[in-house]
Amino acid sequence: MLDFLKRKKTTTVDNTPTTSKSVFSHLKQGLSKTRQFFAQGIGHLFLGKTVVDAALIEALEEFLISADVGVETTEKIIHDLSKRLKQNECADPVKLLLALKEDLNQLLINCQQPLILETEMSPAVILLVGVNGAGKTTTIGKLAKKLQAQGKKVMLAAGDTFRAAAIEQLKIWGERNNVPVVMQQMGSDSASVIFDALQMAQSKGFDVLIADTAGRLHTQDSLMEELKKVVRVIRKLDKTAPHEILLVLDASIGQNALIQAKKFHEALGVTGITLTKLDGTAKGGIIFNIANTLNIPIRFVGVGEGIDDLDSFDSALFVEALFATESQ
């Protein structure tokens, strides 16, 4: 038995913000573009309506599809709303809106699972994957800050060796958070970098190793094979690693995010999703399609560029923020 073997430890990565109210305000602000799209769309549909009829339900269906909720997911929602209408449960627009919010929350609630790292050997290993530009490296910096706030000793691994800028960016995040970054020169073998980082983290008693990987298109089979190699190599040191394969998706690309998620999940068995750039898009409705189609835990949502702009996912707060008025 290796001398750094420790008894099982559990780490739960929760929100750094202190109250639900502060998280809600943060989400509301971050979701402003998607919220405006929903508010204007729903408001236009309901304008002058005092009763709910089949025509309004049909118009709502078209709106949800346009909001990137997805055809199949929208059909599921509309089927339930139509059933409720027949049972006279949402006969007026106010009740219809409440029913819609309930259905949207129900789609997300099963994916509301915090990141819990259970390990017998230290450190817990989080492997971040995704395409170029999704925000992996920035997410690493934010996640490191969250873990540090919980008193965890964190190390970073610059496994994106294809871009010099990625190595430099991770180095900057390490300096900002005052955490060590294991790196090699550009073009080095990614699996080797992460292997070396894990060896070092084990020997020096770190709690968490967060490893970056090169951004790659989900259609590039050879690059997906390299990710599989990373997993095989680090399992030589810890057969249970990585303890989280966190897929970072850019919310602003809409339905393409779902396609990416499917491909990465098929290749690697993604254990969690972080949805980024929600602050810069009106396409936040994609989160409902991802949840309904894949049922993969949504760990975090990114709602800004700041180091604290990464919130642990809460389905009820997300839906409430999506429909919040300016005065709320």
260-297 pLDDT tens trace = 999 999 989 999 999 999 988 888 899 999 999 999 99
Pairing mode, strands 115-121 and 5-13: antiparallel
Strand order from edge to edge, sheet including 124-129: 181-182, 154-157, 208-211, 124-129, 244-250, 272-276, 298-302, 310-312
> pLDDT tens-digit profile of 156-196?
999 998 887 889 999 999 999 999 999 998 889 999 999 99
- pLDDT at residue 132 above 50? yes
Any idea which residue has 């339905």 for tokens? 255
Mean pLDDT of 120-141: 92
Where is pLDDT greater, at 246 or 324? 246
Reported pTM = 0.90
pLDDT at 71: 95
On the question of pLDDT at 219 being above 70, the answer is: no
Mean of the per-residue pLDDT values of the chain? 89
Q: What angle do CA 80, 66, 30 make, to 5 degrees?
A: 95
User: For position 27, what pLDDT does the model report?
Assistant: 85
The C-alpha R_g of the chain, in whole angstroms, comes to: 21
- Identify the pLDDT of residue 151: 92
Query: What pLDDT, on the 0 to 100 scale, is given for residue 218?
Result: 55
> How does residue 25 score in pLDDT terms, banded at 50, 70 and 90?
confident
Q: How far is CA 282 from CA 67, 100, 107, in A?
A: 8, 19, 19
Q: Residue 16's pLDDT band (boundaries 50, 70, 90)?
A: very low
- pLDDT for 29 equals 87
In this predicted structure, what is the pLDDT of residue 117? 85
Mean pLDDT of all residues in 202-218: 89
Can you tell me the distance from the alpha carbon of 181 to that of 163, in angstroms, rounded to the nearest whole number? 16
Return the pLDDT at 40.
86
* Residue 10 pLDDT exceeds 80: no
Please state, in angstroms and rounded to a whole number, the distance separating the CA atoms of residues 223 and 220.
Answer: 6
